[in-house]
Amino acid sequence: MTRFVDVPAGGQQQEEDSVLLLASSFSWEATKKLDVVSELSLAVPVGGSNNVLRFMVGTEIDVWKSLDFDIKIIIDHQSDPAPLSDGSVPLKTDLRLFFGLGFDF
């Protein structure tokens, strides 16, 4: 379910859709202390009006013992974005870059 924060007066506050999720994962031990895990996922809408495509690539690198450094890039593309309350229409494509530290226990 998608909930909209900023919609025109009388506009739709939420939308429900189904998606088909395709995913792949690749793990590689580059060195004795360096593991690289890459993930690729694509969410394709099925029969809904939202029409959002999501492409995600992530890498997890073991830095030290149970400490991981994570990098993820997510690209969302919406073919028909909902207009905001001021009537403007958001960009169709969003790019997000995440950096993080993880601890496995």
Would 78 be classed as within a structural domain? yes
The tens-digit pLDDT sequence of the chain (105 residues) is 566 667 677 666 676 677 788 888 888 877 776 777 787 877 777 776 556 677 888 888 888 888 889 888 888 888 778 788 888 888 999 999 999 998 888
Residue 56 lies in a domain: yes
Within the chain, strands assigned E span 2-3, 14-15, 18-29, 35-46, 52-64, 67-78, 93-103
In a domain, 89, yes or no: yes
Contact 51, 45 (CB under 8 A): yes
Whether 18 is covered by a domain: the verdict is no
Please state the domain count of the chain. Answer: 1
Model pLDDT, residue 100 = 94
What is the rounded distance in angstroms from the CA atom of residue 95 to the CA atom of residue 89?
Answer: 17
99 domain-assigned: yes
pTM beyond 0.75: the answer is: no
Q: Is 14 among the domain residues? A: no
CA-angle at 77, arms to 21 and 56, nearest 5° = 50
pLDDT at residue 48, rounded to an integer? 63
Any domain includes 50 = yes
Q: Which domain holds residue 55?
A: 2-7+23-103
- Asked, for residue 13, whether it belongs to a domain, the answer is no
